[in-house]
Amino acid sequence: MVHARIRLKATDFAGAAALLDGKAFHDYTVIGDYALWMRGNTLEFLNRNAEARAAYEQLAAQYPNSLRARDAI
């Protein structure tokens, strides 16, 4: 997560999206919803709207009680 935020601050959106992709956040942390939300935002900056929408839909489905779920919908 820290490396992804560093890449976002350096405007390396493709690198950040690549770091946020994967199941590691979901399997090993409690911030999987935040990682999906960040991935969706990052993909929006890259104009990869279909992938961003998929990330948001995954967030809403896997974490319906998340604070970010409403933003994702």
Number of domains in the chain: 1
Mean pLDDT of 47-71: 90
**CATH code: domain of residue 14:** 1.25.40
Structural domain containing residue 16: 2-72
Q: What percent of the chain has pLDDT over 90?
A: 27
Q: Burial letters for 1-21: b for 16+ Cβ neighbours within 10 Å, e otherwise?
A: eeebeebbeeeebebbbebbb
Alpha-carbon gap, residue 20 to 2, rounded angstroms: 10
| pLDDT for 32 beyond 90 | no
Alpha-carbon gap, residue 45 to 22, rounded angstroms: 19
